[in-house]
Chain A
Amino acid sequence: MVEEIGTTVEGDVLINVGPQHPATHGVLNLLLTINGETIKKVEPHLGFIHRSIEKMCESLTYRQFIYVTSRMDYLSAHINNHACALVVEKGLQVEIPSRAKVIRVLMDELTRIASHELWWGAMAMDLGAFTPFFHAFRERESINDIMEETCGARLTMNYIVPGGVMYDLHPDFQKRVKDFITLYKLKIHEYDEMVTGNIIFQNRMKGVGYLSAEDAISYGCTGPTARGSGVSCDIRKLYPYEVYDQLDFDEILETGCDSFARYMVRIREMNQSIRIIEQLIDTIPEGDFQAKTKAVLKLPKGEFYQRVETARGEFGVYIVSEGGNTPYRIKFRSPGFSNLSALDQMARGSKLGDLVAMMGTLDLVIPDIDR
Chain B
Amino acid sequence: MLSFSDISKFIDSWLRDIFNPTWTMVIEMMIAGVCVIGLFAVLGLVLVLMERKVAAWIQIRLGPNRVGPKGMLQSLADTVKLLVKEGMTPDGADKFLFNFAPFIAMMVAMLLMAPIAFAKDFQLWDMNIGVLYFSAISSIMVISILMAGWASNNKYSLMGAMRSGAQIVSYELSAGLSILAIVVLSGSLNLNDIILSQADGWWIFKGHIPVIISFIIFIIAVTAETNRAPFDLAEAESELTAGFHTEYSGMKFALFFLAEYINVFIVCAIGATLFLGGWMPFHIGHWDAFNHVMDYIPSSVWFFGKTFFLIFLIMWFRWTFPRLRIDQLLNLEWRFLLPISMFNILLVTLMAILGWHF
Contacts and interface: CB of A to CB of B under 8 A. Distances in A.
Establish whether A and B are touching in the complex (CB under 8 Å).
yes
* Contact-size category for B: 20 to 34
Interface of A: 13, 15, 21-23, 37, 124-131, 133-135, 138, 194-195, 198, 200-201, 203-204, 351-356
A243 to B, nearest CB: 36
B323 interface: yes
19 contacts: A13-B155, A15-B156, A37-B326, A37-B327, A126-B238, A127-B322, A127-B323, A128-B229, A128-B236, A129-B320, A129-B323, A130-B55, A200-B328, A203-B328, A204-B322, A204-B324, A352-B239, A352-B326, A353-B236
Contact of B238 (A15, A22, A138, A198): A22
A128 B241 contact: no
A135 B60 contact: yes
A22 B61 CA distance: 22
Contact of A198 (B322, B326, B328): B322
B12 to A, nearest CB: 48
Given A128-B229, A129-B322, A37 B159 contact: yes
A15 B155 contact: yes
Interface string B311-335: 0000000011111111110000000
Interface of B: 55, 58-61, 155-156, 159, 163, 229-230, 232-233, 236-239, 241, 319-328
Contact of A138 (B60, B319, B326): B60
A201 B55 CA distance: 20
B264 to A, nearest CB: 17
Contact of A22 (B55, B159, B233, B241): B241
A37 B156 CA distance: 11
Contacts of A13: 155
B238 A356 contact: yes
Contacts of B325: 203-204, 351, 353-354
Given A134-B60, A135-B59, A23 B238 contact: yes
Contacts of B229: 128
Given A22-B238, A128-B322, A128-B323, A134 B155 contact: no
B241 A21 contact: yes
Contacts of B321: 128-129, 198, 200
Nearest to B324: A200
A32 to B, nearest CB: 10
* Closest A-B pairs by Cβ, 5 of them: A128-B323, A134-B59, A127-B322, A129-B322, A353-B325
A194 B60 CA distance: 14
B319 A131 contact: yes
Given A23-B238, A23-B239, A127-B238, A351 B59 contact: no
Contacts of B159: 37, 352
A126 B325 CA distance: 12
Contacts of B155: 13, 15
Nearest to B318: A130
A299 B140 CA distance: 74
A128 B329 CA distance: 14
A364 to B, nearest CB: 14
B256 to A, nearest CB: 19
Given A138-B60, A353-B236, A353-B239, A128 B326 contact: no
A203 B230 CA distance: 13
Contacts of B55: 130
A131 B320 contact: yes
Contacts of A201: 322
Given A128-B322, A129-B320, A204-B325, 4 more contacts: A23-B238, A37-B327, A129-B323, A198-B322
- Among A124, A351, A355, which residue has the most Cβ atoms of chain B within 10 A? A351
Contacts of B328: 200, 203-204
A339 to B, nearest CB: 19
- Among A125, A129, A135, A351, which residue has the most Cβ atoms of chain B within 10 A? A129
B320 to A, nearest CB: 6
Contact of A195 (B58, B322, B327): B322
Nearest to B166: A37
A140 to B, nearest CB: 13
Nearest to B56: A134
Contacts of A353: 233, 236, 239, 323, 325-326
